[in-house]
Amino acid sequence: MFSGILLPVTTPYDPVSGEIAPVSFRENLRRWLQQPIDGIVLFGSTGEGVLLEEEEKLRLVGFARDLVPPDVPLVAGVSGESTRTAARQLNRLAEAGADAALLHPPAYFGALLAPAALRDYYLGVAEAARVPLIVYHIPKYTHVVLEPGLIGEVVRHPRVAAVKDSSGDVKRLADYTVACGRHAALLVGSGALLYTALELGAVGGVLALGLLAPGDCARILQYYREGESRRAGELQERLAPVHREIVAAYGAPGVKAALDLLGYTGGAPRPPLRPLPEKERRKVARVLVQAELLPG
């Protein structure tokens, strides 16, 4: 169910009211679905999931479900600090049409949570879940590290289908490959490491880079599967700065600025996030030009 290139789509807002913008959301989604992609992820870090209200998430899942074909997984990000809250939100999103859920660890009490508590959190949500679960490791934002041993325990639950690692740590990716074994798919979250992750045993990625270069990301995967390592490596080398200097450096505001330049609706992020200043927007444009994603 989870392999290939999955796109963690952004959430556009009305520039006046700040409410979600369904028309722009659907227009963007239609364009991405015309590309050779393998799944759609809503409400991840790039989608500003933690800044969305639950009712907004339910509406957006409904809008996406109308467009996303049944054979393309539609994954919804879940934000819940308690096991109870996360499980309830997950099942509401499933009822609205999500095929699976992406769940980051609880962050507020993260420094106090022993590995056993994190294990129980994921297993408790998985036990209550009505759809498959993707474990989301994103220490940059949660400041919670999921050790390989913990991953090895969690993925043995039958409803834990995959792990997304956005740490950017190659050694951890390798350790996660062993931890997942045959129990769960491993997906990389760093667009700069797609080819490396495939070599280490990942089956694809949930890539914000894919929002900006969906066809190129799909070609890296294709070249790898066909044994064209040189072509895959060259393409990865050209795209890696886009991840490092836009996605990793600026997060959702940077991705949205890049989308504006590429003819999508990016727009402003939701406060307290702020749009990129003009100097940084010019840098984003230069990076896109150098990566041959934007005319010079």
Give φ, ψ of 105 to 5 degrees.
Answer: -70, 155
Q: Are 86 and 80 in contact (CB under 8 A)?
A: yes
In the structure encoding, which two tokens stand for residue 91, read together? 């099942």
CA gap 37, 2 in Å, rounded: 12
pLDDT of residue 44: 97
Q: From the CB of residue 143, how many other CB atoms can be counted at a distance below 10 Å?
A: 11
Closest CA to 73 of 127, 3, 10: 3
pLDDT of residue 51: 98
pLDDT of residue 1: 77
pLDDT of residue 90: 98
pLDDT of residue 296: 83
CA gap 271, 110 in Å, rounded: 24
In the structure encoding, which two tokens stand for residue 20, read together? 């979600």
Q: Are strands 100-103 and 160-165 parallel, antiparallel or unpaired?
A: unpaired
**What is the rounded (10 degree) CA torsion for 97, 75, 60, 166?**
170
CA angle 254, 256, 258 (to 5 degrees): 70
In the structure encoding, which two tokens stand for residue 245, read together? 């200097």
In the structure encoding, which two tokens stand for residue 130, read together? 């009505």
CA gap 157, 127 in Å, rounded: 8
Question: Buried b / exposed e across 165-176, counting CB within 10 Å, b at 16+?
Answer: bbbbbeebbbbb
Q: Are strands 4-8 and 204-206 parallel, antiparallel or unpaired?
A: parallel
Strand locations in the chain, DSSP E?
4-8, 39-42, 74-78, 100-103, 133-137, 160-165, 185-188, 204-206
Closest CA to 102 of 187, 44, 172, 167: 44
What is the pTM for the complete model shown?
0.97
pLDDT of residue 65: 97
Q: Tens place of pLDDT for every residue, the chain, 296 residues?
A: 799 999 999 999 999 999 999 999 999 999 999 999 999 999 999 999 999 999 999 999 999 999 999 999 999 999 999 999 999 999 999 999 999 999 999 999 999 999 999 999 999 999 999 999 999 999 999 999 999 999 999 999 999 999 999 999 999 999 999 999 999 999 999 999 999 999 999 999 999 999 999 999 999 999 999 999 999 999 999 999 999 999 999 999 999 999 999 999 999 999 999 999 999 999 999 999 999 999 98
